[in-house]
Structure 1
Amino acid sequence: MVRTEHDALELIHQNRVVTEVPALGTPSLVEAVAGGPVRGSWRAHAKGRLMYRLGRILRASDEVLSVRLVEGKVAFVDPSLWAVVYRVAMEPSRRRRSLEGLSPQARALLTAVERDREVRLDKDSEWTKARETLEERLLVHVSETEAETGRHVTVLRSWRDWVSPTVKEAAESLTYEAALERLREACGGAPTGLGAWVP
């Protein structure tokens, strides 16, 4: 059972991919904290506050990658798979498909991220829908941090700015097909897909 940040990180290191909320094929943080399946809304669960707090901590952590991966849900990814995620995110054919149908606001936000390397947004801002679209389509890296005021801020970065030389070098040794296969395997076969923007 997960009770602390250390427990949550161990869960991710052991399983390589852990979704925040339940999804087919992967263990979830919510169920690990609860000690089993959760009926109804996890937010109403007796341990709902702990689930929420640990989710926020993991989104801000440098030890895991937070990315919408399985069924469009947030997944926490162990460093052993960062090169695989980066390779998939940067595949030109996948990125072209992901750019199709973007709203003008989402395109403007993507342009700002690519130009400025980092954009910070309040959790609930006029850019929320555009940010969610870019995150779901794996077009930007998204994390969270706590502002000086104590409120949570969403940080958008280009994947090129996020990646380390070591991860980039490892990604360059992978074909797109091999990266997808490794990612699907780590997600329990991803029976319902890795999201609409990953074939």
Structure 2
Amino acid sequence: MPGHLETPAEALALVRERGALPLTPVGGSDSLAEQVAGGRVQGSWCDHPASARIVELSAALEASPEVLTLKLVGGKVTFLHAALWPALLRIAHDARRLERVRAGLSPAAVRLLEEVERAGEAHLDQLGRQNSWPPERDLARAAKELEAGLLAHLSTGAAERGRQSVVVRSWAAALPATAHRRAAQLTFEGALELLRSHGAALAPSSGACTDPRPRAPTRPSRGRVSGGRS
């Protein structure tokens, strides 16, 4: 039964325990919104009396160096603990998966990915003001393709006149070198099962669900994950 999360420390402890925690329920899974509300949330959580606390704790998790916020579980906003970053990177960098996902990208997404991999990150508001690039709204659609395919990490940053703009970062820029080194020690199947066992089943758009290779029998424990950012 969901409890009533009150503080950022309690929210972080829950993410440490679960490994992956969606903001809203996905396929019957638990979620931050429900944990804060103390039960099922009917309709939009934005209309719930606990919405202000949900926003507060979501922002605290996003600011934590132990948590990566991304659209992952069911393609929805998910808070992913650092212990699972190597597994995420192993899937993200898998050569066969990349080949499939890249083949389905639009020309704008291909170009944006090339820019992100070259520079490490791209601010869509800045690119959109350049004559050689499409408008920001078109770049935003391309960025969503990269996000859905686990090709880059999306976040928001401050832009001119108080606006917020999408920032697209390569995985090399988004996550520390230690996570990349640990990712190299994992098998594709092991990484996929590790994510699944901690509630982070990947959406079909990731390209990881259609991998033709047989899955290894590795079954990591569903208990508390360990480790952190270093």
Q: Indicate the TM-score class for this superposition, using the shorter chain for normalisation.
A: 0.7 to 0.9
Give the equivalent residue in structure 2 for 1:78: 81
* One-letter code aligned to 2:42: R
Alpha-carbon separation, structure 2, partners of 1:59 and 1:155 = 15
Structure 2, unaligned runs of 5 or more: 126-135, 210-230
Would you say 1:166 and 2:169 are equivalent positions?
A: no
Identity of aligned residues (%): 39
- For the 8 Å contact 2:140–2:166, the answer to whether it is kept is no
Give the secondary-structure state (helix, strand or coil) at the position aligned to 1:67.
Answer: strand
- Trace 1:120-159 onto structure 2 (pairs within 5 A): 120-121=123-124, 125-126=136-137, 127-146=139-158, 151-159=163-171
TM-score, normalization: structure 1? 0.86
Alpha-carbon separation, structure 2, partners of 1:156 and 1:46 = 33
Which is higher, the Rg of structure 1 or of structure 2?
Answer: 2
Q: CA deviation at 1:146?
A: 4.7
Could you list the per-position Cα deviations for residues 71-107 of structure 1 after superposition, in whole angstroms to 9, with x for gaps in the alignment? 1112111111111111111111111111122122222
- For the 8 Å contact 2:124–2:167, the answer to whether it is kept is yes
Give the equivalent residue in structure 1 for 2:216: none
Residue 61 to residue 72, structure 1, CA distance change in 2 (3 Å): same
Q: Pick one of 29, 34, 38 that aligns with 2:32.
A: 29
TM-score, normalization: structure 2? 0.75
- Trace 1:44-123 onto structure 2 (pairs within 5 A): 44-121=47-124
Alpha-carbon separation, structure 2, partners of 1:112 and 1:165 = 21
- For the 8 Å contact 2:21–2:80, the answer to whether it is kept is yes
Alpha-carbon separation, structure 1, partners of 2:123 and 2:63 = 13
- For the 8 Å contact 2:69–2:80, the answer to whether it is kept is yes
Q: CA deviation at 1:138?
A: 0.4
Alpha-carbon separation, structure 2, partners of 1:50 and 1:120 = 29
- Trace 1:167-182 onto structure 2 (pairs within 5 A): 167-182=179-194
Could you list the per-position Cα deviations for residues 13-44 of structure 1 after superposition, in whole angstroms to 9, with x for gaps in the alignment? 11111001111364211111111110011111
Alpha-carbon separation, structure 1, partners of 2:27 and 2:66 = 24
Alpha-carbon separation, structure 1, partners of 2:37 and 2:144 = 27
CA RMSD of aligned residues (A): 2.4
Give the secondary-structure state (helix, strand or coil) at the position aligned to 1:70.
Answer: coil
Would you say 1:195 and 2:226 are equivalent positions?
A: no
